[in-house]
Amino acid sequence: MPDHHDQFTHTNADIDVHAMGEVHEHPTWKQYKWVAVILTLITILEVWAYYLPSFVASPAFVPILLIMSALKFAIVVMFYMHLKYDHKLFRALFTGPLMIAMATLISLLFLFGKFMGR
Amino acid sequence: MATAVATHAHPPTSTGLDHRKIAIWAFIGSECMLFASLISTYLIYKGRSVVGPFPHEVCDPAVLGAIKCPTKMNAILNIPVTSMSTFVLLMSSLFMVLALAAVENRGKPGYEGLLGSSKFWLMATAIAGATFLGFQAYEFTSFVHEGLTIRTNLFGSSFFTLTGFHGAHVTAGVLWLLTLFAIDVKRGLQPKDALLVDISALYWHFVDVVWIAIFTLVYLIR
């Protein structure tokens, strides 16, 4: 009959996988490099847009900046924080509070009339 | 019979996941709500300051025309400097993932030399974080010289609170990274220590994503 310790005995490989909570391999150095390049390009686009007076005056300015920012946010979370590859519990622990936070932010902005052109 | 449990193994858990990693994700989730409240406060108070200095030009003649904009007030936010600090923080995230990869893959082919030097990448990340803090110190000092303090107006109060909280988080992250660097120098971080680096990396990347949001919402959107 196995003793108590045997019930929870793993190989070293098992332990590493469990300890990290990973499901897949992490990205490679080349993928990390390309992620950094994409993040830099989006940041350059954001700053460039800021200096275009005609674009700043257009109604598309704020939505496009928000989309670019959300894209950068998602890229860092998925690739650098490995949420794309990690256990679904970690995804839930992050996206759940993030959704609550965003709903709170938007609700507060509505409550204080920020979307009413005041 | 399976091999003995290594010293770094976590106790058995109902999820099969390490409690420390669950804890850091739960912490990051709670931090999302903290920063959402600070960003909400900034956005609610935006444009409601009675006296200057103001974040952006109160009236931009290039957009509205000189006739509609007789008195132009200069923006206090320095976009070129903040863009540079944003770039530095983004690069620090790259250095951090390379530090984690170096620890996870120590001794494996393709991770020799600089790419496999966790000490180099950890120190590079800490230096990038310290550089970001230097940019922030420069920005705060120049604002004070231009007459904007935390007590000047609603913009000053909400801006310094939001960016100050973020700066405090970056400071904590730099200290954390320097601690890992000291451990690495003392005994060398091994693949079994990867979780220690992974947890600090998650915190560091979170600090980065918060700045991504702040940079757009506070600095770029007028």
> Residues B3-45: pLDDT tens digits?
333 445 566 778 788 899 999 999 999 999 999 999 999 999 9
Kindly report the nearest CA distance between residue B6 and chain A, in angstroms: 7
Of all residues in chain A, the percent with pLDDT exceeding 90 is 65
Identify the pLDDT of residue B16.
81
Nearest of B39, B56, B47 to residue B158 by alpha carbon? B39
Confidence label for A14 from pLDDT (cuts 50, 70 and 90): very low
Question: A7 to chain B: which residues are within 8 Å by CB?
Answer: 12
> Residues B107-146: pLDDT tens digits?
888 888 888 899 999 999 999 999 999 999 999 999 999 9
Q: Collapsing DSSP states into helix, strand and coil, what is residue B136?
A: helix
Question: A109 to chain B: which residues are within 8 Å by CB?
Answer: 40, 43-44
Nearest to B86 among A43, A73, A96 (CB): A43
Chain A / chain B CB contacts < 8 angstroms: 175
CA A23/CA A26 separation, integer angstroms:
9
Kindly report the nearest CA distance between residue B110 and chain A, in angstroms: 10
Enumerate domains of chain B plus CATH numbers.
19-220 (1.20.120.80)
Nearest to A101 among B10, B33, B212 (CB): B33
The residue among A113 and A90 whose pLDDT is bigger is: A90
Q: Would you kindly state where each structural domain of chain A is located, as residue ranges?
A: 10-86
- What pTM, to 2 d.p., does this model score? 0.86
**CB-count exposure of residue B37 (10 Å: 0-12, 13-18, 19+):** middle
Of all residues in chain B, the percent with pLDDT exceeding 70 is 87
Cis ω on the peptide bond leading into residue A59 (within 30° of 0)?
no
In terms of DSSP H, where are the helices of B46-148? 61-64, 79-104, 118-145
Nearest to A81 among B83, B205, B222 (CB): B205
Give A110-117 contacts, CB < 8 A, sequence gap 24+: A112/B44, A114/B43, A114/B44
The residue among A67 and A5 whose pLDDT is bigger is: A67
